[in-house]
């Protein structure tokens, strides 16, 4: 079965407790549960990981090469700062979809720039948990092309 890696960046482990007005009440475990069910229903294995560390995320992205058929990533705050994560994304040759719970273009100016988006096939931003589900859907479509 084809495999999709979903990576969650820093502070996303606090979902449901953190800025609920922006990110909603949903917890990360619930997002991952919905993604795995969605994957199963479409014949894909979804693996999900979260890290608060830039280096760990770089290593996980590097390891995705050869082990996964696509990557869905919410780099969280590293979206706006991390050349290291951008370079890691450039180094793997599987389709990448960037997702954000909030609409980053509606928020503070510093969030309106994504260093990672140019490396992704596309980005989905602003639909809460559905950003992830749409992201996995886009990844499946990319794999099946």
Residue 8 contacts ligand DQA per CB under 6 A: no
Residue 77 contacts ligand DQA per CB under 6 A: yes
Could you confirm whether 42 is annotated as catalytic?
no
CA 47 to chain centre: 11
Could you confirm whether 23 is annotated as catalytic?
yes
Residue 105 is given by DSSP the state: G
Binding piece for ligand DQA, criterion CB under 6 A, among 31-39, 96-104, 115-123, 133-141: 96-104
Measured distance CA(93)–CA(64) in Å, rounded: 10
Alpha helices in the chain (DSSP H): 20-23, 28-41, 54-64, 83-91, 129-143
Residue 74 contacts ligand DQA per CB under 6 A: yes
Residue 83 is given by DSSP the state: H
CB of 104 to ligand DQA, least distance (A): 5
Q: Among residues 17 and 65, whose Cβ is nearest to ligand DQA?
A: 17
Choose, from 23, 42, 80, 132, the residue flagged as catalytic: 23
Measured distance CA(104)–CA(125) in Å, rounded: 7
Q: Which of the residues are catalytic?
A: 23, 100
């Amino acid at each position: 079965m084809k495999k999709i890696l979903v990576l969650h960046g820093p502070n996303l482990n606090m979902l449901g407790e953190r800025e609920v007005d922006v990110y909603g009440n949903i917890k990360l475990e619930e997002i991952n549960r919905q993604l795995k069910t969605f994957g199963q229903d479409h014949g894909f294995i979804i693996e999900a990981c979260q890290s608060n560390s830039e280096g760990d995320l770089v290593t996980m992205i590097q390891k995705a090469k050869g082990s996964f058929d696509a990557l869905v990533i919410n780099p969280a705050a590293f979206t706006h700062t991390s050349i290291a994560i951008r370079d890691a994304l450039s180094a793997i040759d599987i389709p990448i979809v960037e997702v954000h719970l909030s609409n980053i273009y509606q928020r503070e100016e510093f969030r309106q720039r994504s260093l990672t988006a140019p490396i992704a096939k596309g980005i989905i931003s602003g639909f809460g948990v559905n950003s992830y589900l749409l992201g996995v859907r886009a990844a499946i479509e990319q794999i099946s092309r």
